Amino acid sequence: MTEPVISIRNLRVAYGDNEVLKGIDLAIAPGSFIALLGASGCGKTTLLRTLAGFNEAAGGSILVDGKDILALAPERRGMAMVFQSYALWSHMNVAQNIGYGLKLRGISKPEIAERVTKLLAMLGLQGYEQRPVAELSGGQRQRVALGRALAVEPKILLLDEPLSNLDARIRLQMRHEIRSIQKKLGLTAILVTHDREEAMVMADQVVILDQGRIAQIGTPEEVFQRPSSPFVASFMGAENIVDCVAKRSEKGIAISVPKSQASTLECSTDAAADGACVAEDAMGEAPRPVQVHFRSESAFLSLTETAVSNALQLPGRVAQVSYLGSGYRCEIDTDCGSFFVDHPTRVSPDDVVTICIPAGALHVFRMDPARTVAARH
């Protein structure tokens, strides 16, 4: 098994009496791309800045290649950081900005010029050497900031929401460009983002943080398809929540909706068979209350009374409809609450419909009243 390049052990960080990181344990393999994902205030940027050496740890350790770096200054950690604001020198041109870190390290002018030339070619900035950064577009500035970080040839690249200031088209392009450069150079990269699509597109492993703790670590497929908690399910887009009752059955699990006319669904819990994702404590021999999460795009509407197999069905009525471009997002009122479902064609308010949620789209967790309030808000 490959030894981790970074080992974070019981890392704690506090601002005064407010503990922001509450014992983080994380191992990062060399050459991997990690995304730290979470809502504002979860601790992801604090974790990145503590890695970089800009925040002081209250406890724990950070090992790079087996050596604790907490006492080292930022410039001695073998890392480079791309900031959300880019932090470029406005009085310098493109070449001067990219080569600035090399100048501070006492690298000779010929070597600086050689490295800058190579980076300009890699980043598609040939011909911009003498251009003032104030005259560049947002995407070009982002490339200059990335070039400055790469110029010092770091082993570890830290990215603090570097795409958040770009428009949607450029942001999509830069996701793939950064990922391509990371693979080409064999860097270990750690990205902070609040955008789950960005994390899944760019990263090998996604680390979801919640209130200073790690909620789940996994591949993009794992955290999206098999979330480990109601928080992760909601954060990864399964924000529709149905209060149900579940118990073991011959097929795996039987789910019913007490407040609805829906019939009981019996389905497998085997992921390979496109079964429901069910937490270990969500079912027993006797019925127990559960929360069922699902995504609006994973369900569909039936406009007829024809039965749909292997799906949880919720009769309801259309409350409102919004156009998304690729289809319509419909709010459906049912006896057990209102839910959002995507539908390919327009339906009208007051139309009678049935929400159909395939078994493979269900994420089932044992009911916890305190957790329920948090999940709904």
Sequential pLDDT tens for the chain (377 residues): 579 999 999 999 999 999 999 999 999 999 999 999 999 999 999 999 999 999 999 999 999 999 999 999 998 999 999 988 888 998 999 999 999 999 988 999 999 999 999 999 998 899 999 999 999 998 899 899 999 999 999 999 999 998 888 888 888 888 999 999 999 999 999 999 999 999 999 999 999 999 999 999 999 999 999 999 999 999 999 999 999 999 999 999 999 998 777 778 999 999 888 899 999 899 899 999 999 999 999 999 999 877 788 999 999 999 999 999 999 999 999 999 999 999 999 999 999 999 999 999 999 999 876 554 444 44
For residue 193, list its beta bridge partners: 37
Q: Tell me how far apart the alpha carbons of residues 194 and 349 are, in angstroms, rounded to a whole number.
A: 34
In a 13 Å sphere around the CA of 69, the CA atoms on its Cβ side amount to: 22
The pair of three-digit structure tokens given for residue 20, joined into one six-digit string: 């922001």
Long-range pairs of 255-258 with CB within 8 A, sequence gap ≥ 24: 255/290, 255/292, 255/312, 255/362, 255/364, 256/287, 257/312, 257/314, 257/336, 258/336
User: What secondary structure letter does DSSP report for 217?
Assistant: E
Q: Contact, 97 vs 82, CB < 8 A?
A: no
- Phi then psi for residue 312, to 5 deg, are -80, 130
Q: Tell me how far apart the alpha carbons of residues 282 and 248 are, in angstroms, rounded to a whole number.
A: 9
Q: Tell me how far apart the alpha carbons of residues 352 and 341 are, in angstroms, rounded to a whole number.
A: 14
Q: Contact, 256 vs 244, CB < 8 A?
A: yes
Neighbours of 265 (CB within 10 A): 25
Q: Domains (ranges, CATH) in the chain? A: 6-225 (3.40.50.300), 230-376 (2.40.50.140)
Q: Contact, 123 vs 148, CB < 8 A?
A: no
Q: Tell me how far apart the alpha carbons of residues 163 and 157 are, in angstroms, rounded to a whole number.
A: 15
> In the sheet where 79-82 sits, what is the strand order?
79-82, 156-160, 188-193, 33-37, 205-210, 213-218
